[in-house]
Amino acid sequence: GQQLNQSPQSMFIQEGEDVSMNCTSSSIFNTWLWYKQDPGEGPVLLIALYKAGELTSNGRLTAQFGITRKDSFLNISASIPSDVGIYFCAGGYSGGGADGLTFGKGTHLIIQP
């Protein structure tokens, strides 16, 4: 089956630092999504990417859909305490088909005061 390799597994950073995480896949996807999940809650969509090479920003967040369609990265600039949480990448197929999303194992972001 498809596998997503998400790295790093965890990050310990200082407030104000920039953050970068990425996902790679053994298969091609035509959708890459980035979610943030807080404890006891469902994942919240941060950025959705639907085209190879697409670079999209949402406030301090920037994500790119790799040109090979097998990878994506998420950058967070000038981190703040509320950025703490688990970030998941997810690959999928839009426009019909039989599959939902395949998730990476998550990146646990911890911000040290």
Partner 1 sequence: DAMVIQNPRYQVTQFGKPVTLSCSQTLNHNVMYWYQQKSSQAPKLLFHYYDKDFNNEADTPDNFQSRRPNTSFCFLDIRSPGLGDAAMYLCATSRDHRGHVFGPGTRLTVT
Which residues form the interface with partner 1 (CB under 8 A)? Answer: 31, 33, 35, 40-45, 48, 50, 88, 90, 92-106
The neighbour count for residue 113, using CB atoms within 10 Å, is 5
Q: Phi, psi (5° rounding) for residue 91?
A: -110, 145
Identify which of residues 18 and 58 has a Cβ nearer to partner 1 in the complex. 58
Cα–Cα distances (Å) from 19 to 6, 26, 32, 76, 105, in that order, read 14, 24, 19, 5, 17
User: Nearest approach, Cβ of 88 to partner 1 (angstroms)?
Assistant: 6
User: Nearest approach, Cβ of 91 to partner 1 (angstroms)?
Assistant: 11
Length, in residues, of the chain: 113
Identify which of residues 75 and 92 has a Cβ nearer to partner 1 in the complex. 92
User: Nearest approach, Cβ of 58 to partner 1 (angstroms)?
Assistant: 13
Identify which of residues 18 and 38 has a Cβ nearer to partner 1 in the complex. 38
Identify which of residues 44 and 55 has a Cβ nearer to partner 1 in the complex. 44
User: Nearest approach, Cβ of 24 to partner 1 (angstroms)?
Assistant: 15
Distance from C-alpha of 83 to C-alpha of 12, rounded to nearest angstrom: 12
The neighbour count for residue 61, using CB atoms within 10 Å, is 18
